Structure 1
Amino acid sequence: MADPDASLSGNELGDFLRARRAERDPREAGFPDDGRLRRVPGLRREELAHLAHVSVDYVVRLEQGRTRRGSRAVLDALADALHLAPDERAYLFTLAEVAPGAVARPVGRPEVAPRLRQLLDTMHDVPAMVLHRGMDVLAWNRAAGALLTDFGALPQAERNLIRLTFLDAGFRALYADWPRAARECVAVLRMEAGRTPHDPALTALVAELGARDPDFRTWWAGHQVRGPRQLTKTYVHPVAGELTLDVQQFTVDTHPEQLLVAYTAPPDSASQEALRFLLQWAALADTRAG
């Protein structure tokens, strides 16, 4: 059963290994039914140990949090045995504290470089924003505000895409497929929690979402992870109607903790026309307000 507040357990490595072991089909791994009752789904510890060519005791110590040490070769063997995807493999190495070049990350909300803010302001036809780890919204342009929400009207602590996805009814209604989008958010947050387990703001966000949303608690307990990548999302906007947009994410060389995110529509598509209409409507609304 998931922890009631879905907060970080202190044994993320063990929790992650158990979750992935539970998802691995024993028959696909070459272990036919031997008549023994399986108390839990997935691989037994001894079966994982056999596939990875490690001792059962080592698997037990990892899962119980009694050790975090392991060579790259051993962790690769565990990842292969569990059929981990690239993001999951990277997450495993991060939790085991053997990620190459890992450095301590500063906590807190950083400032956005002035030139990056200037770039946002020049992207008139493209909704764009700068995100910090955990999907905190640091800066946005007018187009992003028109597409998603008026971030400027929110308290700074509430300018977080994951928090809005779960706790803001209007933001939640934007998604044509909310469960899919929400699960992706949880996977991103779980990945970042592995990288910065001592970030108090991130820990507080996980605790708040776990306390207030049962879906978050369930999905958080699944230990799915995902890093930044190109996505396609469909929104149902109250002004522009349905828009299917490509979500492009770019790292910022001078600010490695930040992402530049842009929303674009395929050329000559209905979504491009809808986005163009939305931006014209937003510009007209601003003119009237001024």
Structure 2
Amino acid sequence: MEPTPDPRALGAFLRARRAQLSPQQCGLPTTDSPRRVTGLRREEVATLATISVDYYTRLEQGRVRASTPVLTTLARALRLNEDEERYLYELAGRTDERPQHRHPAQRIRPAMRRLLDQLTHTPALALGKRLDILAWNSAATALYTDFATVPEHHRNYLRLMFTDPAVRELHTQWAHDARDAVAALRMEAAADPTDPDLTRLVGELSVRDADFRTWWAEHRVNSATYGTKHYHHPLVGDLTLDCDTWAAGDNSGQRLMILTAQADSPSHDALRILTSWTAGQTEPNSPRHTSR
């Protein structure tokens, strides 16, 4: 069922948005004559959207309901970002008809890449949307698995938790950790429920694992950025590591997950031994360290 349109709110949004744009931004010719309005005139918006001035005027006045094709051209003419376009369709009561945008490929931020390379004895992962593993360091390879051998479209933290026997066995409290990861993904799903890659991931894991189906159906959410993880590594035995997750400040959805051990603890010593065995085995820019 479509939401009830709000013509007055739609008109107010259109006026506000055109007031924020200049002719130069939209590629329109400039003149020396003074402008009586801030931003674009109605005539200029109508020209950019290839609709009549009368029709656009009635839209701003709330006297006509915008069709989906008109909304599409208005979004382009007014240079709306994805959030603004979604808002435009909601105001017009056309949410179900909003075009679906392709999600751009995720690329790790250079600063995060550098930080990963500098953490030589500290396992660290760069996580993107849907808990995709975008990059890692050699210490993370030593602790978890050789991520470079995992197909890129399968490099997902949650997928590995449920489908990789070695990763699953590594977690001595697997049910607790996996359930928390499901709750983190559930919270992310609320922010972008139309993400097709998220839909595919949930569908795949629902078919393959009964625990995932149960925990996903619980609608439990978790945004915790720190905690403690317990591992049993086949080479160095038990490890108790603090897990901290730091979000990038650019709204990219990327997070840096870092695992550290308390100084002078058995876990600290074991982690140093484990990472020293793999130190220097790979170059910083090799496929082992980053998704291609």
Q: Calculate the TM-score normalised by the size of structure 1.
A: 0.60
Does 2:139 correspond to 1:143?
yes
Q: Which runs of 4+ in 1 moved over 2 A?
A: 104-109, 283-287
Alpha-carbon deviations, 1:30-55, whole Å to 9, x = none? Answer: xxxxxxxxxxxxxxxxxxxxxxxxxx
AA in 2 matched with 1:231: G
Tell me what 2:187 maps to. 191
Task: Select the residue among 256, 263, 270 that pairs with 2:266.
Answer: 270
**1:127-166 to 2 correspondence within 5 Å?**
127-166=123-162
C-alpha separation between the residues in 2 aligned to 1:190 and 1:110? 20
Does the CA contact (< 8 Å) of 1:234 and 1:245 recur in 2? yes
Tell me what 2:236 maps to. 240
How big is the shift at 1:155? Answer: 0.5
C-alpha separation between the residues in 2 aligned to 1:229 and 1:238? 27
How big is the shift at 1:147? Answer: 0.8
Per the alignment, do residues 148 and 135 of structure 1 end up closer, same or farther by CA in structure 2, a change over 3 Å counting?
Answer: same
**1:28-47 to 2 correspondence within 5 Å?**
none
What RMSD in Å do the two structures reach over aligned CA positions?
2.1
Per the alignment, do residues 214 and 133 of structure 1 end up closer, same or farther by CA in structure 2, a change over 3 Å counting?
Answer: same
How big is the shift at 1:250? Answer: 0.6
Does the CA contact (< 8 Å) of 1:105 and 1:196 recur in 2? no
Instruction: Give the unaligned 5+ runs of structure 1.
Output: 1-96, 98-103
Aligned residue-pair number: 185
Does the CA contact (< 8 Å) of 1:108 and 1:199 recur in 2? no
How big is the shift at 1:229? Answer: 1.5
Does the CA contact (< 8 Å) of 2:121 and 2:276 recur in 1? no
Alpha-carbon deviations, 1:153-175, whole Å to 9, x = none? Answer: 11011111100001111110000
Does the CA contact (< 8 Å) of 2:120 and 2:279 recur in 1? no
Tell me what 2:206 maps to. 210
Per the alignment, do residues 125 and 223 of structure 1 end up closer, same or farther by CA in structure 2, a change over 3 Å counting?
Answer: same
Does the CA contact (< 8 Å) of 2:239 and 2:267 recur in 1? yes
Per the alignment, do residues 176 and 225 of structure 1 end up closer, same or farther by CA in structure 2, a change over 3 Å counting?
Answer: same
Structure number with greater Rg is 2
How big is the shift at 1:284? Answer: 7.2
Does 2:113 correspond to 1:114?
no
Does the CA contact (< 8 Å) of 2:186 and 2:219 recur in 1? yes
Per the alignment, do residues 255 and 125 of structure 1 end up closer, same or farther by CA in structure 2, a change over 3 Å counting?
Answer: farther
AA in 2 matched with 1:237: H
Comparing both chains, which one has the higher relative contact order based on Cα–Cα distances under 8 Å and sequence gaps of 6 or more?
A: 1
C-alpha separation between the residues in 2 aligned to 1:259 and 1:108? 17
C-alpha separation between the residues in 2 aligned to 1:284 and 1:156? 23
Tell me what 2:173 maps to. 177
AA in 1 matched with 2:121: D
